[in-house]
Structure 1
Amino acid sequence: MTDYLSQILTIFLKRNKQMIQQINYFKDLEKFLNSSLQSHQALHITLSLNQIGAEGASVLGLGLGKCIDLSNLQLYLGQNQISDQSSLDLGSGLEKCTNFSNLKLYFSIRLYELLGAFKDICGKKKSRSIQESKMLIYKGDTQIGKNQIGAEGALGLFSGLGKCTNLSNLTLDLHQNQIGAEGASALGFGLGNCTNLQNLKLYLGSNQIGDEGIQGLGSGLAKCTNLSNLTFNFSENQIGDKGALGLGFVFNKWTNLSILTLYLHQNQIGTEGASGLCSGLGKCTNLSDLTLDLNNNQTGALGSFGLEKCTNLQNLTLLLGNNQIDDEGTSVIGFVLVKCTNIQNLTLHLHYNQINDEGSSNLGCSLLKCTNMLNLTLNLYQNEINKKQQLKVKNKILKSQRLVAFKFNQW
């Protein structure tokens, strides 16, 4: 039996080694174009901060279109002045890669890329002072993530993605572009064809999507009923109640979701929109891990109603800072948390609201009833709670028999 297990382990390690060896890494566009394009199965191409421009992106699209056996691609193109036309060319290339199962497209800069650029500057130009190098990075970062992709480019790019019907894992980062409502709707239409998607991450912050765009995106993605792991970043997009309600309705279709991360900070979502959104989330009864960021909206007192139906939640991060939440609102939040009886790890941010002594006391009582909770982080910074009441709330929570870790942010 031991020999048999040893053989299985050896085969597994060999296969893993082969898979690792198949990944080809490129940081130079010309070297990629001169490589054996038709033989690539897994590619990792990093061209951020390379000034390839619109022409370079178009040529890249042509090259990718020749990688007919490609199933795994990570492509980093942040800060390259990519235009609508080159986005169309990229989409045309990607649509020929019909074997895609894993795809990550980054049109904004990741932190490690900035650090890498900083190292390069310091290493290659030793005469330059550290402060000058930092300024170069800073200047490049003032519009971090920006290319020049608008609605027209988004239409072409997303149309190409829609042809990749075998996709099961997709990450798309278009933070700080200008795709607008039309582009977001086109993305939904394209991805609606990718019904095999299980893991999806969309980073679309600061794109002027608005209510119309979020509804169009959701309408298309509603067809992706196999989603189990989902991350949306729709921060700073002028989304109001109408958009939040539409998004909440789509969650009715995603009943297989187990992990959800949803960033909606700095929009214009009020009580009606937040309630509709949370009611939709309540239909996702398989959710075990939820991060919901509604910081800097206007959700008010009743915005979290609906989450109490997510009874399988074990990990919850609820960010509701600066939302005009008063004592009544904290009572609602407490009611929701008590109903989620399986929560083990909770992060709750309620900073910059209008919570008084009564609200904080009620919240403390509710948290004490969460008998399965092991880890709690509570942020009530900048509310209207006196120091004596602060201490009472803290001591009340510390009476929990099961609590292992408690982080209490100072007011």
Structure 2
Amino acid sequence: MTKLNSLEQLQKQNKSITQKLELNIRKLQTDIQTIKIIGEQISKFENLQILALSLNDQQISEESAQILGECIAKCTSVSTLDLFLEWNSLRDNGIKLILQHIGKNPNFKQISIDLYRNGLPQEYGQILGEALSQCIYIENLSLHLAFNCLTIKGVKTTAFYISQCINLKQLRLCLYNNQIQQSEIPQVMEYIKKLVHLNYLYLDLGKNKIGDKGALLLGCEISSSQTLSQLTIRLYENEISEEGIKVLAQQISQCQNLSLLCLNLYLNQIKTNGASLLGQQLQKCTNLKQLSLSLGHNQIKEKGVSDIGNSIANLRNLRQLELSFSVNEAQNEGAQNLAKSISCCSELTQLSLYLFQNQINSKEIMHTPAFILKLKNLQSLNIDIGCNNINLSDLLKMNQSLFKFANLNTFNLQIMMCNIDLRQVYVLKRQLRKVQKLVQFSIMI
């Protein structure tokens, strides 16, 4: 990706060979004349395939948007467009004027629009939706609407128009920190379900007011979408308890085509029994190849962690696994049982295990590498055991075990707040340099 930060760089850039371009014009004085020059320069690229245009912290007028849209549309070779429009206080038809030209180009398959912190009023859903509905050829859409003032009316209107993009296969919809209530979830999902070719859905509803009822309604809507093979749901800080997570997991487990599942339930009210109920449902997702589960800040004790581990032991097709139990109460036995269960997933190539602040001591953490050593195909290992009772001698022993991995090439260790000083970190790194298979390693304190 060629990255340019000035008008001069853009004018000098070779227009015939550049295929990937990222243009950040945040610091330019974007008057009409400047926008016109930028647009003219962009339209001259002959073989451009990916264009990322950052217009953060600007006040883009309708006339400027019209010029940009017309010029970008002339880049007939572009298939991927990323528009970064953060902090713009958009109130007009700017985005619509940009997309009405681009949408008619059949080569545009992937569009990402970032409208983070624009203070969008609810009526903006109509403008944005109408703009998106013109992009009839797109297959991949990312829409970032976090930290706005959208109520369900605005979100619902946007979702309605998105449903008219009948070729969509992948949709990323970021709606965290808006004003969406639990009973309003079906009003969004009823339109998303109309996308009959959709196989990947990324839905971020963090820091709204979803609750247990919202989790139930969301689960019911998702379970009826039989085309999904990849699903990411982010529900952090939504006051979801064990009842909510139980019904959500029950519904998700009915999606038998899932190969990728990411659940972010950070900072809810799940506790130990909720984790156990989640585990019971997860083990039904036997086709999963990638699983990411974030349960940080949920007061989960050893039994809950162990039960999650037991469920994962049944997912024998897993290739990538990421588990976060940071700031819970896993303690020693929970950590051991978790590692033992993970060792049953013999096909794993990537493992990330986050156990920050869990009352684990050095003596017991040493059992973890012994189990993980059974993962003969492991290539990447990330471990966070920060804010636990860990000492240098046992960390050295853990490092020593890395010599026994046949395929490991990446290792990252986080030991923040473990009373390990810089001199001791140097000792650890010196040892890691002797592991010849490692291409990349890091230690964070």
Same fold (TM over 0.5): yes
Q: What is the TM-score when the length of structure 2 is the normalising length?
A: 0.68
More helix by share: 1
> Could you tell me which of 359, 365, 370 is aligned with 2:370?
365
Say which SS state the counterpart of residue 226 (structure 2) adopts: coil
Task: Provide the residue aligned with 1:75 in structure 2.
Answer: 113
CA contact (8 A) 1:187 1:217 kept: no
Task: Provide the residue aligned with 1:85 in structure 2.
Answer: 123
Say which SS state the counterpart of residue 276 (structure 1) adopts: helix
Task: Provide the residue aligned with 1:309 in structure 2.
Answer: 314
More deviation, 171-180/384-393: 384-393
> Could you tell me which of 15, 20, 30 is aligned with 2:63?
30
Greater relative CO (CA pairs within 8 A, separation 6+): 1
Letter in 2 for 1:346: L
Task: Provide the residue aligned with 1:129 in structure 2.
Answer: none
CA contact (8 A) 2:340 2:372 kept: no
Deviation of 1:170 after TM superposition, in Å, equals 0.9
Distance 1:204 1:227 in 2: 18
Letter in 2 for 1:262: L
| 2:111 matches 1:106 | no
* Count of aligned pairs: 355
Say which SS state the counterpart of residue 84 (structure 1) adopts: coil
Once the two structures are superposed, the pairs formed by residues 232-247 of structure 1 within 5 Å of their partners are: 232-247=233-248
Residues 1:241 and 1:398: Cα distance change in structure 2 (over 3 Å): farther
> Could you tell me which of 90, 97, 120 is aligned with 1:52?
90
Distance 2:368 2:222 in 1: 36
Distance 2:328 2:52 in 1: 47
Task: Provide the residue aligned with 1:349 in structure 2.
Answer: 354
CA contact (8 A) 1:186 1:217 kept: no
Task: Provide the residue aligned with 1:374 in structure 2.
Answer: 379
Letter in 1 for 2:197: N
Say which SS state the counterpart of residue 247 (structure 1) adopts: helix
Residues 1:360 and 1:64: Cα distance change in structure 2 (over 3 Å): same
Distance 2:352 2:341 in 1: 14
Residues 1:404 and 1:92: Cα distance change in structure 2 (over 3 Å): closer
Q: Percent identity?
A: 28
Residues 1:80 and 1:385: Cα distance change in structure 2 (over 3 Å): closer
Distance 1:19 1:259 in 2: 34
Distance 1:21 1:198 in 2: 24
Residues 1:45 and 1:314: Cα distance change in structure 2 (over 3 Å): closer
Query: Any stretches of 5+ residues in structure 1 without a counterpart?
Result: 1-12, 108-144
Letter in 1 for 2:87: L
Once the two structures are superposed, the pairs formed by residues 178-197 of structure 1 within 5 Å of their partners are: 178-197=179-198
Deviation of 1:168 after TM superposition, in Å, equals 0.8
Task: Please report the RMSD computed on the Cα atoms of aligned residues, expressed in angstroms.
Answer: 3.5
Task: Provide the residue aligned with 1:297 in structure 2.
Answer: 298
CA contact (8 A) 2:286 2:316 kept: yes
CA contact (8 A) 1:62 1:89 kept: no
Say which SS state the counterpart of residue 341 (structure 1) adopts: coil
CA contact (8 A) 1:192 1:222 kept: no
Distance 1:290 1:397 in 2: 24
Task: Provide the residue aligned with 2:200 in structure 1.
Answer: 199
Deviation of 1:295 after TM superposition, in Å, equals 1.3
Once the two structures are superposed, the pairs formed by residues 113-132 of structure 1 within 5 Å of their partners are: none
Residues 1:269 and 1:351: Cα distance change in structure 2 (over 3 Å): same
Letter in 2 for 1:146: F
Question: Any idea what the Cα deviations from partners look like across 1:93-141, whole Å, max 9, x if unmatched?
Answer: 545665543222122xxxxxxxxxxxxxxxxxxxxxxxxxxxxxxxxxx
Task: Provide the residue aligned with 1:262 in structure 2.
Answer: 263
Say which SS state the counterpart of residue 200 (structure 1) adopts: strand
Question: Any idea what the Cα deviations from partners look like across 1:272-314, whole Å, max 9, x if unmatched?
Answer: 3223333333233232222222111123222413111211112
CA contact (8 A) 2:377 2:406 kept: no
Residues 1:160 and 1:181: Cα distance change in structure 2 (over 3 Å): farther
Distance 2:336 2:54 in 1: 54
Deviation of 1:348 after TM superposition, in Å, equals 0.9
